[in-house]
Amino acid sequence: MNVPLYEKLWMWASGVLIVAFLTTVAIGVASSALQPPSHVETIDPAKVWTDPRFTARGVTVDSAGVTVVAVAIMFAFNPAELRVPAHRPIKFRLTSADVTHGFQIVGTNANTMVVPGYVSEFTTSFDRPGEYLIVCNEYCGLSHHVMSGKLIVEEARP
């Protein structure tokens, strides 16, 4: 088949781009432990405060592991401060009581949307003890810029 040179160049260029994009995704998955969106678990946003899955908010440590349960509302995270151990897998369970929010722990790979009607869940661990800023990265209203929280990662006691 007689394909003009420019046509061939563009075909090769688009092929190279596809390979480059897939490589970027593969490197992200392998090096930063990026995860696909969580399971689909629904919740009535009007009943978040009385739903048994979200009444015990905060950090729970038991035989099953470490779990963080928190609710995002305009314009805060509840609870605003979380204290978790370092070097252990931590399961985050989040939902919104009003509009779509974001939940990003700055400087880590923890970053998810928090959509009303759904429970966002992901698991990650923190190797560096210290204080981390939690921000909402989805515009949620006039005071979106003040919506923040704090994650304190503590070195596990021996």
Measured from the CB atom, is 43 or 75 closer to Cu ion? 75
Query: Measured from the CB of residue 144, what is the shortest distance to Cu ion in angstroms?
Result: 4
Measured from the CB atom, is 119 or 140 closer to Cu ion? 140
Measured from the CB atom, is 18 or 142 closer to Cu ion? 142
Query: Measured from the CB of residue 135, what is the shortest distance to Cu ion in angstroms?
Result: 8
**By CB under 5 A, what part of segment 77-106 binds Cu ion?**
101
Q: Are 150 and 134 in contact (CB under 8 A)?
A: yes
Cα 117 from Cα 47, distance rounded (Å): 10
Place of tokens 């939940």: 103
Measured from the CB atom, is 69 or 102 closer to Cu ion? 102
Query: Measured from the CB of residue 44, what is the shortest distance to Cu ion in angstroms?
Result: 21
Contact characters 129-158, Cu ion, x per CB under 5 A? -------x---x---x--x-----------
Measured from the CB atom, is 67 or 92 closer to Cu ion? 92
Place of tokens 């722990």: 105
Number of chain residues interacting with Cu ion (CB under 5 A):
5
Query: Measured from the CB of residue 155, what is the shortest distance to Cu ion in angstroms?
Result: 31
Cα 145 from Cα 153, distance rounded (Å): 24
The footprint of Cu ion (CB under 5 A) covers 101, 136, 140, 144, 147
